[in-house]
Amino acid sequence: MSATPALEKRLLTTDDYHAMIAAGILDEDDKVELLNGELIFISPIGPKHSGVTNRISHLLKQLLQDLAIIAVQNPIAVSPLSEPEPDLAVLRPQDDFYAESHPGPEDVFLLIEVADATLEKDRTVKAALYAGAGILHYWIINLPEQQLEVYAQPGKGQYKLRQICLLDEKVVIEPFGIEVGVEQLLGSR
C-alpha cells in the first residue's frame, strides 16, 4: 500500500481574506475566522456561551469604564495569516473605536475566549497564536469545568504561566489592578 502524498496548500493572508469579503465570497453569515492561513469554522454559540459573554462584557464595561474599549466577537489582526475573533477583547482606548483598522496585538490588554465545545482549540491553537503575537494576557472561561484559565508571560509561541482559578477565587484584570471574582464572570451554576 502506498503512502498518501503530501498535498500542497496555499495559505490565505489577511489581505486575501478581506478581498474575499469585499468580493462577496464571504459575508457576515459565514461563521469563519482566519487562523494560521486557514479558514476555520466558528462553532455555533449556545445560550450559556452567549449569556456568559454578555455577563462579562457588561461587568468589564462597569469596572473599566473609560479605561478600555470592550469588543465582543470582533476581529483582532494578530498576524498576516491570522485574524481571530475572540469572544471578548479589552482594548486600548482609541478615538475612532478602531473604525479605520482592526486592533493589533499592541492594542490588546486582554483577550477572553468563552469555551465549551472549543476548549481544546482555545487551549492549543488560539493560545499559541495569541502568545506568538505577544498578547500579554489571555483568559479562557472554561464552562464545562466552571473555572477560569489565566495565561500570561508569552514567549516562543506559548504562555509560560497558566493558572486555574475556581469559582470562589478572585483574579486581577491586568494592567488595571482591578480585582474580580471568578463567580462574577461565570455567574451562578
Please give the grid coordinates belonging to residue 87: 469572544
Distance CA 34, CA 171 (A): 30
Q: For 35-55, give one letter per residue: b (16+ CB within 10 A) or e.
A: bebeeeeeeebeeebeebbeb
Digit-coded pLDDT (tens) for 104-130: 999 999 999 999 989 999 999 999 999
Digit-coded pLDDT (tens) for 37-70: 999 998 888 999 999 999 999 999 999 999 999 9
What percentage of the chain carries pLDDT values higher than 70? Answer: 98
Is 98 in contact with 90 (CB distance < 8 Å)? no
Secondary structure of 132-184 in HEC code, one letter for each residue: HCCCCEEEEEECCCCEEEEEEEEECCEEEEEEEECCCCEEEECCCCEEEEHHH
Q: What angle do CA 179, 181, 184 make, to 5 degrees?
A: 125
Digit-coded pLDDT (tens) for 71-109: 999 999 999 999 999 999 999 999 999 999 999 999 999
Average pLDDT across the chain, whole number? 94
- Whether 23 shows a pLDDT value over 80: the answer reads yes
Structural domains of the chain ordered from first start:
45-186 (3.90.1570.10)
